[in-house]
Each structure stands twice: as structure tokens, then as C-alpha cells.
A and B are shown apart, each in its own frame.
Chain A
């Protein structure tokens, strides 16, 4: 598969009164055409900011992209002028946000919101756009699409609004959809419906998907590849199989051990990661996970470990990556 998106050394910082927050710190990853890449991590690890950075939606002030490049089909998104990037947003790369209530405009009808982008980007006439909007609603499983077009977001339930968001994201046939916690606000049965829908549509239409989530179960079900983030950095990257079956970073190991699983015997005690996530304004040069890491050695305090190859397509940023399996078995 050809590479669709290349993110190289992306660094985004927030300049606040309490100091500079290194929200995204020198991250590099690729997204191939048609594949699903998951970005996992806990609150504040920089996963949402990295997604916003791709479309240059980081609000300034206080946030700013400091460095790096984002190549999308041969163009560097970070060097485009405002008019050009607007042609990419919604047309070639679209976004699905977490909270469908706040990301849809409450005073505009569903029809207007769906047709606006298509008229703008695809040059459709209002009548053509409206016809296509009804088709899109039908495609995302909304009943009586014609009637829905005249309705407003508050008429719809959370699951339906998220379906509208997906219809909106698909409307201009983008090459890439970035979904930031698309199902976090939804109930499990509705979450399953939405995820199946996204999986099915992206596969059918050949759209690549970057899913940002904290839910490890969702990742396991839908992702081809996984980027694990901690304190603004990607600390492990690999295929879903590699990340779940041969995790090579102490943080990934810790994350997997701390979730209760439906397929394991009940009553097995959870193994949490000790301590708290670090303050992103006070990072030193060492590994940010060090204070919580069971395997930390002196070197971890001095230098940040580079991403090292573990297997084909599988990298991990840990000084003790070579011994990780023995360490895991010993503890």
C-alpha cells in the first residue's frame, strides 16, 4: 500500500502562564492508504493535539506547531497557506469529533450542515447536494433521511448525531478521516453500531482512518496498526497483533495489565501502573515514564531512549527493550 500521510518530527507546544507544555514532542508516523491506525494513550498524552496538528487546528494562542513536517499526498500541510489548507480540510482529510452535540451547529438544520461542505468543496448545486445528503444519511443507517434533513441536532439522539458526523466526514469522499474518541460519549450497544459502521464504510470506500482513543478494546477490534503515546511522545508502534501479543514497552505492558478483561477468569487482581502521569511543563531530558516504571535504570533519567526496532514494523522507545521479555517474566 502506498503511504498516504507521513508525519515527521511533529512538535506542538502550548505556551501557558504556568510554563511551556510540550503536548506533542517530536513524533513520527505513517498512515497507508485504506488502513486504520489507532493512537492510544491516557488523558493529556497528546493524542488529540497530534490529530489537531495534522489539520492545523491547534488554537493559537496558546498552542503552536513548533516543528516537523506533515506530508499528505506529496504536499507539506504545514507549509500551505490558509486558502490551500482549507481545501484539504473536509475535502481530503475530514474529522469526526468526540462530542457530536458540540461539534454540530445547534441552530442549523442537518441538511444545511451536510450540503454546505459539498457545495463548497465539490461545487454541487443545492438540489444535487440535498439529494446526495439524503443518500449519505441512508448510508450511515439513519431512517427517513428526507425528514431528518429538515431537523436540527437537538432532535437527534447521541448515536444519531454521531452518524450525522460520520456522514458529514464522508460527504466529500476524503482519503483520510481522523476520528477523535468517536464513541467515547456513547453507550456500548451504540458504540458497537457506530464502530461497525465506520469499519464497514472505510473498508468499502477505501478511506484511511486514524482513530484516537483510550479504549484498548476498541483498538483491538478495529485497528491495523497502533501508536502508543505517553507524555507527548510515541513510545511504541506496531501492528495490533504485535502491540497486544508482544508489547515491548513497560508502559504498554502496564496498560494491558491494568484493564479488567471479559475473557479472563474473574477475581484476578489488576496490576495498576503506580504513580501519576507527569506534568508536561516539567519534563526533563530523560524518559518521562521513568518514575512509574518498574524496570527503570540510571540511564533512563539521563537520556530519552530512541525508538528501536523490535520486529518488522514494530518499534519501542525503552533502554531495556532487549531484556523486556525476561524482565516481564521475572516480575
Chain B
């Protein structure tokens, strides 16, 4: 168990800048995409942190940085106190057992030429979790049934299954190494609502059963609200607000969070008719050349001159409620 004073996962001032190159033979860096630009947050053990934002805001990049699938430009990622960014590939191997990922697209994240059984068997074999072949086979069957699939599916290929079933296989694969921390990157976004609810319930059950910690990355606010303990809102590479779930949704403070919540339609015509709809103007600017000062200022209803020049600090307004805005 972790010491109560060291948080389970700590992300400190994370920056991920991708170079934009030009030229055919001799490539020169002409600009930088600031996908993630100085993000800090903690995740406690057993907690689900929701990370929301619109496309291109950098939420997926944060997940990939934690998984060390990207070489971060700057900052620290501490997992139980160990800085993952400083580890060699070899030192990372035991860490990869503890940190797993579930991807969005159940069609492209499973190898179409492998049977489901082999897909689930492979990580256990590579990481030498279970060395005995027969026992591995048994574990595969167990994993399938934990995820609500018929153990006979081990002999099938991905194309023989529906989207919801494939996503269950993706979850089973993430569980194969008995991880502690799972990054769910848009794990339910591609599914139809009736199937989505099945998978959300499964993720919740697994969290309770195996004491898992989730970073739940999604663009669907109602799903994030449902599953998360705390929620972080991202805009153009920066965190704009972070708070406990009820606090964030009942008392949104940052103008972007408010606009985002206003934009989500409620499946009830009565409630919709009675609700105010403030639509925010403009579009998300390019992260290659983000606006100066506060990145949200060109679309912000509260913006004043100061916002164009000063970058707001990410500050704590109430206990556990963080916000990056100087005007509220």
C-alpha cells in the first residue's frame, strides 16, 4: 500500500511539445504544437479522475505521456513516488504491469489476425506473470468471464465480435497483468448508448472488485460526471478547472467549464425548454500558435484586456477546487 502522504500518481508541470517540421531532405523545425503546456494534478489510490475537453485539447496526449508512449518535453510523472520520465526502457517494464490502458476504438486496438485467447495470453507470457501454459489458458477464460464474455470466445477472432464485445476484450487485456492504474482513453465513446451503459457498469464493478485507479479521459461530460470522483477540465493544453465531481458540476466557475456544461443537451424536452442556452462564440484556436495570455480569452465572455497579456495561475479557490481564471 502507498504511504498516505505520497499521492498515487503525481503529474508535475507536464509539457509535451511536438515539433512541426518543414523540408524534404533537410528537415527543420518551424514551429511547435504545444499539445500539453504545463499541467499538474494528483490522483489518489482508488480514485477515478475524469479528464474532459474537446478534440485537440491534449487530453489523450496526457494519457500517452503517463504511459511513456511519448518522450515528454518537460515535467515529472511520479507513480508511487518514482519518476517515470527518468526510467530506462528496461526499468519501465515492471511499471508497465502496473499501468495499463483501454483505447477508444475496439476495431483498431485488437490485432485482427490473433484469436482473442492469444491477445489475452500474450501480455501474461511477455511479462512472465504466469509461466505455465495451461494455467495461462485458465486465466484467459477467467478474464473473459470477469468481463462478462463467454469463455469460449477465446477461440474467436475480433471480427466475429460486436463493438461492445471487443471493448470487453480490450478491458480483459488491460486486466491481464493485475494492474493498479488504468488509463481509459475514450473507452466508451465508440459504443451505442445501450452497450455503453453495460461497459460503464463493468468498469465500475471492476474498480470496486480490484481496487483500481482510473484516469478516465473522455469528451462526453455526462459519462465523465457519472463515473468520476474528481474531474479536470482541459482547454488547449492547459487545465482550466479541477474539482470534486459534485462541486465541479454544481458550481462550475471557469467560463469555459460553464460554456461546456451549457452545451451538453439533457435528454428531457421539459428540462431543455426551461434551461438557458448560452452558446460560446468562435472555434478552438490552433495549438501551434495559441493565443497570448489566457488561451481562452478570444472566446471568453468575461475577458478583459488583462487576459490578453497575463497567463492566469492555476489556483485553489476553495478546498480542492482549482481554477485558472483571474476574473472570477
Interface residues of A (CB under 8 A from B): 42-43, 157, 159-160, 187-193, 195-196, 214-221, 223, 240-241, 244-245, 254-263, 266-267, 269-274, 276-277
B162 touches A276 (CB 8 A): yes
Asked whether A244 lies within 8 Å of B197 as measured between CB atoms, the reply is no
Q: What 1/0 flags go to B184-209 for Cβ under 8 Å of A?
A: 00000000111111101100100000
Interface residues of B in 234-290 (CB under 8 A from A): 245-246, 249, 259-272, 277, 279-281, 283-284
Would you call B225 and A241 a contact (CB within 8 A)? no
| Complex contact A260–B265 (CB within 8 A) | no
What DSSP secondary structure best describes chain B's contact surface?
helix
B residues with CB within 8 A of A: 54-55, 162-165, 192-198, 200-201, 204, 219, 221-223, 225-226, 245-246, 249, 259-272, 277, 279-281, 283-284
CB of A98, distance to nearest CB on chain B (Å): 14
The 5 closest A-B pairs by CB, nearest first: A217-B265, A272-B197, A258-B197, A260-B226, A187-B54
Chain A residues near B272: list those with CB within 8 A.
217, 220-221
- Give the shortest distance, in Å, between A277 (CB) and chain B (any CB): 8
Q: Which residues of B sit under 8 angstroms from A214, Cβ to Cβ?
A: 192-193
Most buried by B among A195, A214, A260: A260
B266 in contact with A42 (CB, 8 Å)? no
What would be 25 A-B contacts, judged by CB atoms less than 8 Å apart?
A: A43-B163, A43-B192, A187-B54, A187-B219, A188-B54, A188-B221, A188-B260, A189-B259, A192-B263, A192-B265, A214-B193, A220-B272, A245-B269, A245-B270, A254-B194, A256-B267, A258-B193, A258-B194, A258-B197, A259-B222, A259-B267, A260-B222, A269-B204, A276-B165, A277-B192
Q: Are A260 and B270 in contact, CB atoms less than 8 angstroms apart?
A: no
Residues of A within 8 A of B197 (CB): 257-260, 270-273
Given contacts A159-B283, A262-B225, contact A188 B162 (CB under 8 A): no
Q: Which of B221, B223, B269 is close to A240, meaning CB atoms less than 8 Å apart?
A: B269
Q: Specify which chain A residues have a CB less than 8 angstroms from the CB of B221 in the assembled complex.
A: 188, 262
Residues of A within 8 A of B194 (CB): 42, 254-255, 258, 272-273
* Chain B residue, CB-CB nearest to A44: B192
In the complex, chain A residues whose CB is within 8 Å of the CB of B268 = 220, 244-245, 261, 263
In angstroms, Cα B219 to Cα A255, docked, is: 20
CB distance from A120 to the nearest CB of B (A): 31
